[in-house]
C-alpha cells in the first residue's frame, strides 16, 4: 500500500430501501463515528434522488451520485467503469452484486439468499437466474464475505458450498432512537399523525409473500372470534399498486373496521409506532436477520415472531415464537399477548435485554476490521465444494 490513505468505496444505491437501506444508513453513521475510519477516505455511491437521505458524514466521506439501478446491466457496465476510474483500493458491495472491478479488493455483505431459496417470490425465472449467478460470482470474487446471522451463513454454506471460514457474521445493530424510555407523548404524536386507534397490535412489513400478512390477518380474525379483543391491527409498510387481494381478505374476514393501514411510516416515526403497540407481530416466513424484531424489543414491546430462519436465532428465548404457517398458533399467541399484561411485561423485559446485544458501533468496528484484513490481503481459505443443489 502507498502512504496515502486507502480509498474505500461503499455501495449505497439502496440507501432508501427498507431492510438494506437501514443497514447502509446506520453502518455509514457508525463507521464515521469510529476513530479507526480516520485512516481511510471513502466514496459513497448513492442514487441522485437519494442524496437528501444521506446522513451527515465527515469530509473524508465523499458522496458520489450514481444512477445505475440495482439488478441491472448498467450496474455491471456503467457503474463498473466508474469504479475502475475511481481507482479504489477496496469496494464494499452492500448487497450481493459486485460489479466487475479492475484491481480493487472487495468485501460483500449478503444479507440472505431468499431469492434462491424461495424463487416463487420472484417476478420471473430470469430474476432467479440473475440472483444465482450474481451471488455465486460475489462469493468467488470477494476477498471477505459478511453476513448478518449464523442462519444466513449456514444457508450460504449449504446452498453454494463455500467454506464457513470465508464468512464473517456481523449482526445488525439497533439505533439509539429505539428505546424503552421513549416519552409517551411521542407514541401519542405518531398515533394522532396516522389516525391509529388504541389499543393496537402492530405488523410491519408490507405485502411481499414472505412477510406472511395473509396469515397474520387470518390469525387476528381467529383471535377476535376466540376472545372479544379491543385491539385494532395496524398493518404498516409499503403497499402494492394492486391492493385488491389483501383488501378482499380483510372484507371476507369482516375486519374492515378493525384494520388500519398507514402505509410506509418514515424512520423517525417508527419508535413511536412501536412504543404505542401492545405487541409487535412478525411471523414472517424467512428473514436474514429481522431488524424490526430487534427494534421493537429495544422499544420495550413484546414480540411475536417465527420459530424459523434467523428469527429463531435473534429472538429465541426472548419472544413468543410460533410456526408462521400455523394460523391457530399465531392466533393463540395474539390472544396470550393481548389479554395477559403479565405475559406482555415478561416478554417486554426479555426483549429489552436481547436488544442490548445489537449495536451499530460494534457492527462498524467489526466491519472496519474486515476492511483492514481485506486490504492486507488476508483472505481465509476458499474451500469450495459444489453441492448438487447449487445450480
Q: How far is CA 210 from the centre of its chain?
A: 13
Given the C-alpha cell 431488524, which residue does it identify?
A: 291
CATH fold of 7-173+360-380 reads Rossmann fold (3.40.50)
- Phi first, then psi: give them for residue 293, nearest 5 degrees: -65, -50
| Band of pLDDT at residue 382, cut at 50, 70 and 90 | very low
Q: Do residues 197 and 235 make contact, with C-beta atoms less than 8 angstroms apart?
A: no
With pLDDT > 70 as the criterion, what percentage of the chain qualifies?
96
pLDDT value at position 2? Answer: 52
Q: Provide the residue ranges of all domains of the chain, joining segments of one domain with +.
A: 7-173+360-380, 184-355
Grid coordinates representing 238 are: 409499503
For cell 439488478, name the residue: 71
Q: For position 241, what pLDDT does the model report?
A: 75
Cβ–Cβ < 8 Å for 97, 132: no
Distance CA 119, CA 168 (A): 26
Count of positions (residues) in the chain: 391
189-241: per-residue pLDDT in tens? 999 999 999 999 999 998 888 999 999 999 999 999 999 899 999 999 988 77
* pLDDT for res 379: 56
Q: Is 160 exposed, middle or buried (0-12, 13-18, 19+ CB in 10 A)?
A: buried
**Distance between CA atoms of 24 and 16, rounded to whole angstroms?**
9
Of 77, 62, 142, 154, the closest CA to residue 112 belongs to 154
User: Average pLDDT in the 333-350 region?
Assistant: 97
Looking at the predicted structure, is the pLDDT value of residue 384 above 80?
no
Q: C-alpha grid cell for residue 233?
A: 391491527
Domain 7-173+360-380 shares a fold with domain 184-355: yes
Digit-coded pLDDT (tens) for 141-187 = 999 999 999 999 999 999 999 999 999 999 999 999 999 999 999 99
Position 122 scores a pLDDT of: 81
In this structure, what DSSP letter does residue 102 have?
S
| CA of residue 300 relative to chain centroid, distance | 20
What residues form DSSP beta bridges with 64? 45
CATH, range 184-355: 3.40.50.2000
Residues in contact with 80: Cβ distance below 8 Å, sequence separation at least 6, in sequence order: 99, 100, 101
Amino acid at each position: 500500500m502507498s502512504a496515502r490513505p486507502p480509498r474505500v468505496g461503499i455501495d449505497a444505491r439502496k440507501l432508501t430501501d427498507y431492510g438494506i437501506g437501514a443497514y447502509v444508513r446506520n453502518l455509514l453513521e457508525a463507521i464515521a463515528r469510529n476513530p479507526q475510519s480516520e485512516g481511510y477516505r471513502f466514496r459513497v455511491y448513492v442514487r441522485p434522488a437519494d442524496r437528501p437521505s444521506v446522513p451527515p458524514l465527515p469530509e473524508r466521506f465523499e458522496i458520489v451520485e450514481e444512477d445505475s439501478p440495482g439488478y441491472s446491466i448498467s450496474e455491471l457496465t456503467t457503474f463498473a467503469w466508474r469504479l475502475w476510474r475511481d481507482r479504489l483500493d477496496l469496494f464494499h458491495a452492500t448487497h450481493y452484486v459486485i460489479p466487475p472491478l479492475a484491481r480493487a479488493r472487495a468485501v460483500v455483505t449478503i444479507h440472505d439468499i431468499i431469492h434462491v431459496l424461495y424463487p416463487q417470490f420472484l417476478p420471473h425465472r430470469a430474476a432467479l437466474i440473475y440472483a444465482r449467478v450474481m451471488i455465486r460470482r460475489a462469493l468467488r470474487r470477494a476477498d471477505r464475505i459478511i453476513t448478518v446471522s449464523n442462519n444466513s451463513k449456514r444457508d450460504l454454506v449449504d446452498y453454494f458450498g463455500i467454506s464457513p471460514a470465508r464468512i464473517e457474521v456481523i449482526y445488525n445493530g439497533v439505533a439509539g432512537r429505539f428505546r424503552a424510555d421513549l416519552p409517551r407523548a411521542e407514541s401519542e404524536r405518531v398515533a394522532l399523525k396516522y389516525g391509529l386507534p388504541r389499543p393496537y397490535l402492530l405488523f410491519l412489513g408490507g405485502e411481499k409473500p414472505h412477510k406472511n400478512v395473509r396469515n397474520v390477518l387470518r390469525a387476528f380474525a381467529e383471535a377476535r372470534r376466540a376472545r372479544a379483543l379491543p385491539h385494532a391491527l395496524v398493518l404498516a409498510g409499503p403497499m402494492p399498486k394492486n391492493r385488491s387481494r389483501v383488501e378482499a381478505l380483510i372484507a371476507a374476514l369482516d375486519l374492515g373496521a378493525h384494520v388500519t393501514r398507514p402505509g410506509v411510516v418514515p424512520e423517525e416515526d417508527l419508535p413511536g409506532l412501536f412504543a404505542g403497540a401492545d405487541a409487535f407481530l412478525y411471523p414472517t416466513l424467512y428473514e436474514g436477520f429481522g431488524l424490526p424484531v430487534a427494534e421493537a424489543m429495544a422499544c420495550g414491546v413484546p414480540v411475536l415472531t417465527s420459530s424459523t430462519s434467523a428469527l429463531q436465532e435473534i429472538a429465541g428465548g426472548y419472544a413468543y415464537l410460533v410456526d408462521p404457517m400455523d394460523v391457530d398458533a399465531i392466533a393463540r399467541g395474539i390472544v396470550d399477548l393481548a389479554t395477559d399484561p403479565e405475559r406482555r411485561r415478561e416478554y417486554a423485559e426479555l426483549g429489552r435485554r436481547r436488544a442490548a446485544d445489537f449495536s451499530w458501533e460494534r457492527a462498524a468496528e467489526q466491519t472496519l476490521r474486515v476492511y483492514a484484513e481485506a486490504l492486507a490481503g488476508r483472505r481465509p481459505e476458499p474451500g469450495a465444494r459444489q453441492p448438487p443443489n447449487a445450480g
